[in-house]
Structures are given as C-alpha cells and as structure tokens.
Amino acid sequence: MTTEAFSRMQPFVLKALTAVKRRHCAAPNYAPDAPVADQIACPKCGGRLNYTVDTKGMTSARCASAGCVKWSLQ
Ligand SMILES: [Zn+2]
C-alpha cells in the first residue's frame, strides 16, 4: 500500500477497517487464531460488507454494492 493510496482512503473504509480490526485483531496477538471470513454492515451504504482476516492480521473486504467500500491486505 502506497502513502498516496492511504491518503486517498475514504473515511468509510477507515471506519470499517477499524471495526474489523477491533473485532479480530485485538492485543496481544493482533491477529485471529484461524482465518476469518465474515461480514458486517457497510458503514457507507448499510449493505453487506464481506471481509476476511488472515492469521497475520491482514484484512481484505468488499461491499456487496458496486463501487462502495473495499480494501485489500491492510
Ligand atoms: Zn457499501
């Protein structure tokens, strides 16, 4: 992820990313014991935001709505 990409990250992405990290990447391991695939309500459109978390704590997500919140490996 480049610095430029981060600066253009939308507030909704940061909000959803924070929610996922809080749920699955808490101290002390900052990563789940097993890979996670789940969904939360999209903070932007209220739709389904499907996400995955690997055992290194890297998360990827994509909203069910086209052109909405998504990110990979953050
Ligand atoms: Zn959405």
Ligand 1 center from residue 31 Cα (angstroms): 24
Q: Is residue 1 predicted with pLDDT exceeding 90?
A: no
pLDDT at 5: 55
Ligand 1 center from residue 71 Cα (angstroms): 12
pLDDT at 69: 95
DSSP structure string for 33-61: SS-EEEEEE-TTTSSEEEEEE-TTS-EEE
Query: In sequence order, what are the beta bridge partners of 39?
Result: 50
Strands 36-41, 48-53: pairing is antiparallel
**Per-residue model confidence as pLDDT tens digits over 30-74:** 999 999 999 999 999 999 999 999 999 999 999 999 999 999 999
How many C-beta neighbours within 10 Å does residue 22 have?
A: 9
Ligand 1 center from residue 57 Cα (angstroms): 22
- Cα-trace Rg, the chain: 12
